């Protein structure tokens, strides 16, 4: 379960991007955050795993408070937050399999990590996940040979192999055509249920949110985020 209490973010420029956001997600709920560009959606998601440091407020994953963890403890907790990015964040010169296995880096020893020698159980799981996301047979392709939709499927498999407790998904379809966007969103929603994982998904496309959400909250820079209740 993820619980966010009164999250505030003021950037060094003085820009107040979050004004006291409070939110809770649990079970396998698929929660969409919709709002115009610049309304703070990305900042919110990134404050959860502290890719952006929040200025005030608290974030709890299960009962662990993330907001005050030191770097080493935060790194351990980040394993439990599978992040799916708008621009995929793949290593382009690596293969599909290597990109997926990089999701296990937080679990293997330092030597295994630098030599990229993963346990057979991780490799077997990567094969299974790639089959599930529709990339069976493409394990040895380089990431830079894939289409946008295929890259996002690699990103999804990489997030799942972390064995996360939650998926954090930042505008996953904004670089994709409408048909691919729909299939990617369907896949994320299905996998959330299959893996019993809550997902928080930022998106500006209201119709996609309406098609796949269990709950939708609206993010608007004009009102404090504590009024993020309004289901559509
Ligand atoms: P969204 O994801 O809804 O498009 P963002 O979270 O990216 O919104 O941005 C929210 C606000 O914070 C915007 O006004 C944006 O310009 C500002 N912002 C985002 N990142 C930074 C940064 N690193 N430094 C200063 N301002 C930022």
Q: Is the C-beta atom of 104 inside 6 A of ligand 1?
A: no
Q: Is the C-beta atom of 39 inside 6 A of ligand 1?
A: yes
Query: Tens of pLDDT along 182-227?
Result: 999 999 999 999 999 999 999 988 999 999 999 999 876 555 554 4
Question: If we measure between CA atoms, which residue out of 20, 23, 26 comes closest to residue 7?
Answer: 20
Q: Is the C-beta atom of 203 inside 6 A of ligand 1?
A: no
Calculate mean pLDDT across residues 104-131.
Answer: 89
Rounded to the nearest 5°, which phi and psi values hold at 50? 60, 30
Calculate mean pLDDT across residues 55-64.
Answer: 96
Q: Is the C-beta atom of 17 inside 6 A of ligand 1?
A: yes
Query: Tens of pLDDT along 73-88?
Result: 999 999 999 999 999 9
Assign residue 118 a region: left if phi > 0, alpha if psi is -120 to 50, beta otherwise? beta
Confidence of residue 167 (pLDDT cuts 50, 70, 90): very high
Q: Is the C-beta atom of 76 inside 6 A of ligand 1?
A: no
C-alpha 146: how far from chain center: 21
Ligand 1: residue whose CA is nearest its atom 12 = 17
pLDDT > 70: percent of the chain: 94
pLDDT of residue 71: 94
Query: Kindly report the CA angle at 9 between 213 and 69, in degrees rounded to 5?
Result: 90
For the CA of 171, the nearest atom of ligand 1:
2
Question: If we measure between CA atoms, which residue out of 7, 49, 3 comes closest to residue 24?
Answer: 3
Length of the chain: 232
pLDDT at residue 176 is higher than 70: yes
Alpha carbon of 66 to those of 29, 107, 132: distances in Å?
21, 19, 31
Q: pTM for the whole thing?
A: 0.93
- More confidently predicted of 35 and 52: 52
Confidence of residue 231 (pLDDT cuts 50, 70, 90): very low
pLDDT of residue 225: 55
């Amino acid at each position: 379960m993820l619980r966010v209490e009164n999250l505030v973010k003021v950037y060094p420029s003085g820009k107040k991007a979050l004004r006291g956001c409070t939110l809770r997600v649990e079970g396998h709920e698929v929660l969409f955050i919709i709002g115009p560009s610049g309304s703070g959606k990305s900042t919110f998601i990134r404050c959860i795993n502290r890719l952006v440091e929040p200025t005030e407020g608290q974030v709890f994953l299960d009962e662990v408070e993330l907001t005050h963890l030191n770097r080493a403890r935060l790194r351990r907790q980040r394993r439990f937050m599978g992040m799916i990015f708008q621009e995929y964040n793949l290593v382009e010169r690596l293969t599909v399999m290597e990109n997926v296995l990089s999701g296990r880096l937080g679990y293997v020893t330092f030597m295994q990590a630098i030599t990229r020698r993963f346990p057979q159980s991780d490799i077997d799981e990567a094969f299974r996940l790639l089959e599930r996301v529709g990339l069976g047979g493409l394990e040895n392709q380089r990431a830079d040979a894939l289409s946008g939709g295929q890259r996002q499927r690699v990103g999804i498999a990489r997030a799942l192999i972390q064995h996360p407790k939650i998926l954090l998904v930042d505008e996953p379809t904004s670089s994709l055509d409408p048909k691919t966007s729909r299939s990617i969103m369907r896949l994320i929603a299905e996998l959330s249920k299959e893996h019993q994982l809550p997902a928080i998904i930022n998106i500006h496309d209201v119709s996609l949110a309406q098609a796949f959400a269990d709950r939708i909250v609206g993010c608007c820079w004009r009102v404090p985020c504590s009024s993020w209740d309004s289901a559509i």
